[in-house]
């Protein structure tokens, strides 16, 4: 099986020095990439900037901005059977990027922002016979928001987790199918969760059998 994995954050620059981003460490995505390689899968990893070495044996693509991640994923996805989208992309970017470095003015400034392109939704639209598994990190109304994301972005499954996962080596996740059912739950080290997820996908992706099999 050849799969695409997205990992890490993206950055949107205010000027040549400062940027908007989030606290994603990339650990979950990299752990899944390593678990998939150990399972004998062919892994294509598209990663934002993280302080982790590229997993051995993966086809690795480094990106920085959301637009770069979108372009790379849409170019690589057609050669894959599915995608696991763990990346925490930046949802907004400045309308204009300042050349050089902004200087203090002694007063407040206003930065006009616009939404970035939706990487996961784009992959959902173009998936065809491929499968799409997204991640939803939610703080308020977590299950409701995760279900909305699953349907809006045309995912086959979505993993619900919470902000405590950011920067941590542990996680607690719920795997939800396209019919809104919880089909698996895992907690503990991200490496352990990654191995369980890869095993589950290996059993269920071909048949699209969304019931938990143990």
Dist CA 158 CA 176 (whole Å): 5
Cβ atoms of residues 44 and 84 within 8 Å: no
> Residue 194 is encoded by which pair of tokens?
């990654």
Active-site residues, by number, are: 22
Strand 59-62 versus strand 12-13 pairing type: unpaired
Listed residue (143, 131, 44) closest to 81, CA to CA:
131
Q: Return the H-helix or E-strand segment holding 214.
A: none
With tokens 């925490």, the residue in question is 88
Dist CA 123 CA 135 (whole Å): 13
Dist CA 83 CA 123 (whole Å): 8
């Amino acid at each position: 099986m050849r799969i695409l994995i997205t990992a890490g954050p993206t950055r949107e620059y205010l000027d040549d020095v400062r940027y908007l981003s989030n606290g994603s460490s990339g650990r979950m995505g990299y752990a899944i990439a390593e678990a998939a390689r150990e399972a004998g899968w062919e892994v294509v990893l598209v990663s934002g900037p993280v302080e982790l070495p590229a997993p051995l044996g993966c086809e690795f693509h480094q990106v920085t901005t959301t637009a770069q991640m979108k372009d790379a994923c849409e170019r690589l996805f057609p050669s894959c059977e599915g995608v696991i989208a763990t990346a925490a992309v930046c949802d907004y970017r400045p309308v204009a990027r300042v050349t050089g470095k902004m200087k203090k003015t002694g007063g407040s400034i206003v930065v006009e922002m616009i939404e970035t392109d939706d990487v996961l939704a784009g992959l959902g639209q173009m998936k065809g016979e491929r499968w799409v598994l997204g991640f939803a990190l939610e703080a308020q109304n977590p299950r409701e928001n995760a279900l909305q994301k699953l349907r809006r972005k045309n995912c086959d499954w979505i993993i619900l987790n919470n902000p405590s996962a950011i920067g941590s080596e542990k996680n607690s996740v719920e795997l939800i199918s396209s019919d809104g059912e919880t089909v698996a739950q895992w907690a503990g080290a991200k490496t352990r969760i990654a191995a369980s997820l890869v095993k589950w996908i290996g059993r269920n992706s071909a048949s699209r059998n969304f019931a938990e099999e143990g």
